[in-house]
């Protein structure tokens, strides 16, 4: 037996290196023909992108920020737990995380331990869910938070700027985190991630917002970030998502757009138009514009953040969120919608046991348009026959959300 194990060991170690090998930009393969920002993206990363494009023609994945890390009145449960699952029987399909404070301590801006986050990202992936990561990066000039505005920090971290080397050091940490997200013991592979840096830049609350840098500086920062992670650090398990806050028109949305070769997913964050006092048709209008811009470029569209704090409207889910999305057949072709975190009774964006909006949330989840984790197809596997036919042939599973 020992001899057999010794003979098999070299083969085992060779296979453990990376079976999900990057595509190397080979246009002769089915994966190589799919254009992503990273031509060498892993097969699973490209499969995720292809499946998001396909799913968005029929369904929308539901997402929740920090879903496994904590909820209302609980933190770091000893088993998998989620407020969403506790009220509807399914985990979210999309799991949002944030890497703010990476390299400055053991926890992020919401006191989520980075080591625990890695475990939860793995759990979400094993469930077949999608992981998306934002980055509330601290101010490099003042050492304040993302919300410490006023200085032109972007120019300071661009090549030639006083803080450029500090920014590259932070990118090194980010690359290390992304490359540490792996599944398997011997036959390891990278976990695909959707990365959403420098988000909501049409607003004025982050130091990378439009009032604090020029459009060209923002574009240069985005391009440098992508090229450094992809080409210098060889991070190949990332899809890049460009997401604004609310926008007036296409020109406004694309003002800081770095170019099709640097963006995989077009998203936007909208907390404004889902408020009771505002016009929900504005959400529909912007989603239609977003989807049109994405489809013109062969890309994915998503409502990357939204929600109403504490959900005081009992029918908010169906009337304020679902109806505006379904009001237009183009607007409904977004890949996912993500609501923010559940931190405490006064600050939450999804229902928890006993919440008044649960019956309406159940109706929201049961809608044929919405997919939860238990209803997902295999998003990390590309069914070539289905894509050749241009048809998402796998019917939605006959799983119902539980009361």
The residues annotated as belonging to the active site are 200, 305
Residue 391, token pair as written in the block: 């048809």
Q: Concatenated DSSP letters for 328-357?
A: STTTT--SEEEE----BTTB-SS--TT-TT
154 neighbors 208 (Cβ within 8 angstroms): yes
Nearest CA to 51 out of 368, 264, 313, 362 is that of 264
Cα 98 to Cα 56, 102, 197, 198, 319, distances in angstroms = 24, 9, 10, 12, 29
The answer for residues whose C-beta is within 8 angstroms of residue 359's C-beta and 6 or more apart is 314
Return d(Cα 231, Cα 300) in angstroms, integer.
23
CA atoms within a 13 Å half-sphere pointing along the CA-CB vector of 152: 12
Collapsing DSSP states into helix, strand and coil, what is residue 60?
Answer: strand
- Tokens standing for residue 56: 């968005």
Among 100, 107, 103, residue whose Cα is nearest residue 136: 100
Burial of 75 (0-12, 13-18, 19+ CB in 10 A): exposed
Residue with tokens 């995989």: 264
Phi, psi (rounded to 5 degrees) for 65 = -75, 135
Give the C-alpha separation, 208 to 187, whole Å.
40
The rounded distance, in Å, linking the Cα atoms of 64 and 68 is 9
């Amino acid at each position: 037996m020992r001899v057999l194990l010794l003979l098999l060991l070299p083969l085992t170690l060779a296979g453990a290196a990376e079976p999900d090998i990057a595509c190397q930009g080979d246009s002769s393969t089915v994966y190589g023909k799919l254009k992503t920002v990273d031509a060498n993206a892993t097969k699973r990363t490209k499969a995720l992108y292809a499946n998001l494009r396909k799913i968005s023609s029929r369904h929308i994945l539901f997402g929740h920020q920090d879903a496994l890390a904590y909820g209302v009145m609980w933190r770091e449960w000893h088993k998998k737990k989620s407020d969403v699952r506790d009220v509807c029987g399914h985990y979210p399909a999309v799991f949002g995380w944030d890497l703010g404070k990476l390299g400055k301590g053991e926890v992020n801006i919401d006191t989520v331990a980075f080591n625990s986050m890695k475990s939860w990202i793995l759990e979400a992936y094993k469930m077949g869910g999608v992981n998306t990561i934002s980055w509330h990066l601290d101010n490099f000039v003042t050492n304040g938070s993302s919300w410490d505005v006023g200085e032109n920090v972007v120019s300071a971290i661009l090549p030639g700027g006083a803080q450029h080397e500090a920014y590259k050091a932070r990118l090194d940490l980010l690359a290390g985190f992304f490359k540490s997200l792996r599944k398997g013991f011997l036959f390891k592979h990278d976990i695909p991630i959707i990365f959403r840096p420098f988000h909501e830049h049409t607003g004025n609350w982050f130091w990378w917002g439009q009032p604090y840098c020029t459009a060209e500086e923002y574009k240069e920062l985005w391009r440098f970030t992508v090229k450094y992670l992809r080409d210098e650090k060889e991070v190949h398990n990332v899809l890049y998502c460009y997401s604004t806050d609310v926008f007036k028109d296409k020109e406004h949305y694309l003002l800081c757009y770095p170019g099709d070769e640097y963006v995989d997913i077009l998203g936007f964050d909208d907390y404004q138009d889902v408020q009771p006092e505002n016009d929900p048709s504005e959400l529909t209008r912007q989603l239609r514009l977003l989807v049109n811009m994405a489809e013109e470029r062969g890309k994915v569209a998503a409502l990357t953040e939204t929600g109403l704090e504490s959900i005081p409207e009992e029918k908010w889910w169906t009337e304020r969120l679902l109806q505006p999305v379904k009001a237009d057949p183009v607007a409904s072709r977004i890949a996912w919608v993500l609501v923010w975190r559940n931190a405490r009774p006064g600050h939450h964006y999804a229902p928890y046991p006993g919440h008044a909006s649960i019956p309406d949330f159940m109706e929201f989840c049961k809608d044929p348009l919405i997919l939860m984790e238990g209803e997902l197809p295999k998003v990390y596997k590309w069914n070539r026959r289905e894509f050749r036919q241009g048809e998402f042939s796998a019917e939605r599973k006959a799983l119902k959300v539980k009361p």
